[in-house]
Amino acid sequence: MTTRRRSRHTPEQIVRKLRDADAMLYAGKDEAAVLQSLEVSEATYNRWRKQFGGMKAEEAKRLKELEEENKRLKEIVADQALDIKMLKYVSEGNCRAALARA
């Protein structure tokens, strides 16, 4: 049994494959043949269509960059919220008893 290695596609590759799929479907190929030539599953194709539908390659790349930046910013906000919570706890005097024992 052969196992196929999963590959990640760049946004540009996805947009190109979707454009190729549209051309093949317009030329009269059935969807199964198109999916086989693109080497993707139907679920992957539908997910790509939903996410990258009418985008150009540059727009898809920018979308991915914005999603990554958003993720980083959310992590920063979460870290800051923890820092604020810790500082409030310390400023209320909850650590004095712990420091006095040490």
pLDDT digits (tens, 9 = 90+) for 19-60: 888 888 888 888 888 888 888 899 988 988 888 777 777 787
- For the CA atoms of 65, 66, 69, 70, the dihedral, rounded to the nearest 10 degrees, stands at -150
pLDDT band for position 16 (cuts 50, 70, 90): confident
Number of domains into which the chain is organized: 1
| 2 belongs to a structural domain | no
pLDDT at res. 74: 96
| 5 belongs to a structural domain | no
Q: Does pTM surpass 0.75?
A: no
| 6 belongs to a structural domain | no
% of the chain exceeding 70 in pLDDT: 85
| 3 belongs to a structural domain | no
| 32 belongs to a structural domain | yes
Helical (H) or strand (E) element with 70:
helix 57-91
Q: Print the domain residue range for 52.
A: 11-101
Chain-centroid distance of CA 35 in Å reads 22
Burial of 11 (C-beta count, 10 Å sphere; 0-12/13-18/19+): buried
